[in-house]
Structure 1
């Protein structure tokens, strides 16, 4: 890698404005942001340069190591395939979501998840991946074995974020039992009687295991400096519980009430970029755009479609909902700040040279032309 790289004739999206000029990258960092063309360097052809995206919650990796029912793929191959799509979507820092807490639909044991976590660390250490990979451990606190699974991953040095989830029916994401029925009964082919028994079992498990699971996992994360996220908070009581546990990020609040209470308590409010792209929640909960219009949206995550982060940011700008620097902040600097990664996420002198060259097409998804991580071109 050359010690110095110059990118010229670009529209550079800084935290405050779009600068027509050039960038100087030196030793993996941004050395200079300047107006006007440079006498030398790689011509960007007037394309935009934005910071590399920072993704806190993507379940996308699951589709690679569980590509079909009852199939578990080679871990390293799954990581590399996942990483290739992540980087090509402009994401230079990714928190790979792994879940602990099993139910009848999970074929991966806690040992499998721990092994995947170790494989992610190996992939980073061996320079097999384009993006910078961390682990987001999704903890299904209503499961009997959630603490056991958590303890098998908690000492992985790539673990930087854990979330407290409870997908039992009648609350949070599935407060509407009709939506829960539409999701699970059809997916699992259950009769009405089987579905009713399923709901009773899930509710009982939540009541038995969730309180202790939340307390123990939150305490362990605070002790180790691991950022903590709530999941699907629906009301002020949920938010108060999250605050008491030391939560940093409010993931996918399902109502305006919960989002406003989270923001008032100093939490970073995260919503799914697919919610923006699709024009609403697939579960029938509050829309991300509505939260943005109320001034209580901080972060967008790709959730299950990696490219949706970039697409959503430019879609918001294209629709006139916000200025481009503010839209880009939702997927770059804001998520980085929420988990303490203050060395990246913005085009400023001294920050990591994690950058994406984007070609914009009015009314259409943007095109990723090139990606740099710490000044090295990876796409």
Structure 2
């Protein structure tokens, strides 16, 4: 089998690589946005993109987001992301994942990969047969396993900080919380909210997941197209991105947005629209860092205390971000981006 790596030009990024192995059916992009704070780290997503241009757009957006996420979580890691082009239900094979592992290994430690949409811990185990830079593994001395529960825990902690900022208490008892997306992270978050006394509204395209949430968590089930017609206190987007846009934000009744989905804002200007409507938005790359914190513990060969300490850290930074945004009359996105840009500038100067 022949693996081909082709460097593609992408302004503002350190490296964008097209990895192909025809025999294994691999066609993937590995994007490294920044290594100013350490080797790039970010998950591998498998998605049936309509075109290479669409895949490049997703990979680059996600890689940049990982730079900011890893910096804000104080992980000593840069930002990167990879996408495998294909249908995970139909095209994914052990040999494809091994070929992807060879591509990661060929980068010589510039990039660490892990699970993301369409990729499981079992898939990553095949990747790890060909590279030492595959993490999020279930076994081994430092294996961190499925990062989803840690992502959900981080979102839950930050959500409580946001609630305290708005209502003066972290107690979400009786609050109407709409969880959009009941994958591993969304369902785990819904379980935590139910245990905390919240009134759940849930939606997903998976009928079985909805039935489970209705039975076990007493959740109200709505159709995916009915999200922005609901009365709610908190909106937790945990599906795909760009759900907050010029059409949906004017209809949103929530006072707080805090969810696990990446790239929730369709455009940067949406942050201003949310602020103008008095809706507190907690930037996704800050609150959904629990998964990469778990992965980082594996990269750095640290344990559970490391993960819990970093989760405490992101909750503290959310509180700082909210206080600064209120005092300076700026959006939370502006404040969070400024905090990260300062870290990157200091690292580059050093």
Query: Which TM class, normalised by the smaller chain length?
Result: 0.3 to 0.5
Relative to its length, the structure with more strand (as a share) is 1
Which protein has greater RCO, CA pairs closer than 8 Å, 6+ apart?
1
Please, what TM-score do these two structures have when normalized by structure 2?
Answer: 0.36
Please, what TM-score do these two structures have when normalized by structure 1?
Answer: 0.34
